[in-house]
Structure 1
Amino acid sequence: MAPPAETYLAIPPGDHCLSGNLHTGDTRGKTETIEEAPTYITTPQHGNDNGNILFYYPDVHGFYNNSLLLMDAFADAGYHVFGIDYFRDDPIWKHQNADKSVKPDFDRAAWRDKHVAFAKATVPKWTKAIADKYGKDTTKYVCAGYCFGATYVLDSLTKGFISAGAFAHPGSLTEEQFQNVDKPLLLSCAEKDHAFPPGKRNKAQAILEEGQKKYQVQLFQGVSHGFAVRCNLEDPYERYVKEQSYRGIVEWFNFWLSQ
């Protein structure tokens, strides 16, 4: 059963998740199945391997060029990256029309409930299976989530083995999840985000502050939900914000893993 609406600080995915731009470029990872979930695996290049693992929790569009390129970028920063397709080849974009509206026969609530159930059951055992197979005694772990994936960042930072996390333009986050965070968290946010509006964002920050959690807030003016993955790269400011979000997350992870 979903939490009561009033407990959400970031609302579940909706129309705000459907807009944005597709990015072009060649991806280099491979896909294999781990714990019944298609998994994108991409590794560091050019000898900059830091020996650590980053778990990537995608937005409602799942595995598409934007998310694959972003995972490759995290690998370029030195991380072995594992991304989970908890939609199992049923991303939201397959239910959209050419104008990015959803098809009239699409049951969004049923789609969301189905994939949330799978993700909540699978993400914990998926991360553990990867750690068992690919991790070493010296390996440390971080996680990054976007939109739909943000909730699994907070869940992963609750007394687990993952050392730090970050999310951008989140969805489906409750007060309780922020209260339970036990590891460093970076929040990459748009100043005005329908899914995570200022009042709710400030309340989340207050919960983190009152609980003496380790956190940082990135706040970007002039962009909207999806800015860190689906921005217009032809717009210099939108490109800058996307890149700053990425760099901030990498620097956050690098710092906490160096402690």
Structure 2
Amino acid sequence: MRSTCRTPRARSAASTARAPRAARSSSPDPIASPATSGTEAADSRRLGLLDELGIDLDPQLLQLALTHRSYAYENGGLPHNERLEFLGDSVLGVVVTEFLYRSYPDLPEGRLAKLRAAVVNSHSLADVARSLDLGSQILLGKGELTTGGDDKSSILADAFEALLGAVLISCGRDAADVLVHHLFDPLVVQAASLGAGLDWKTSLQELAADADLGAPSYRVTESGPDHDKRFEAVAIVGNKAYPPGAGTSKKQAEQGAAKNAFTALADAASEGDA
């Protein structure tokens, strides 16, 4: 899986700004040069990352993808990676969704949504980032460094998405697609192999475990006559109650509650530490 970003297909409107490594005249977002804001060891790790991924990114764009806002603020308001993160998040969602749609033509929309949620969330992204040793290469402010920011799931997930956005800008959509498939197709296949066991309660339990929030619990109430019972369930994770789910059975209500809690937790994690 090697993409050098030098093929004719890669020279789209967004990627024509790419310049040789030694002399780049402009970039989508300016940032300090690697020589002034990174050590030789960090540069070496970044080159190793690119080699492992089989890509060749502009070094300034790569540094931008790895610049957390805390570092940017502590260094005079440098550009940071959140714009690239926004771009990478969109690419990741589209590529994984299309892969699911084409690979599992018999699955209903609800099942496809569960599979996507099991694969595209901050914790799975953080695990991928850890496998790439991305944490050691992210530029963080002193406060984040002292609190273990280089291993926070939200920071790692954001940095990976920013890296993917940088691949799209520098190398083009085809290269970004290849990278997503290389890293995430195995996760999709693994999730699909769980069969009926992949449900919202299972997904919530795994998400809560990854976040060290303990096992979810459920508070269930019922109403109505015996022939027309209605159930309402609330998922409680980390001593916090989330929006309720409802249904005609306890199981259905708990699944709805788990979905609501999972969505809220995943969204909060993607925006930063709650």
Normalization by structure 2: what TM-score?
Answer: 0.26
Question: Higher helix proportion, which one?
Answer: 2
Question: Higher strand proportion, which one?
Answer: 1
**Higher relative contact order (Cα pairs below 8 Å, separated by 6+ residues):** 1
User: Which of 1 and 2 has greater Rg?
Assistant: 2
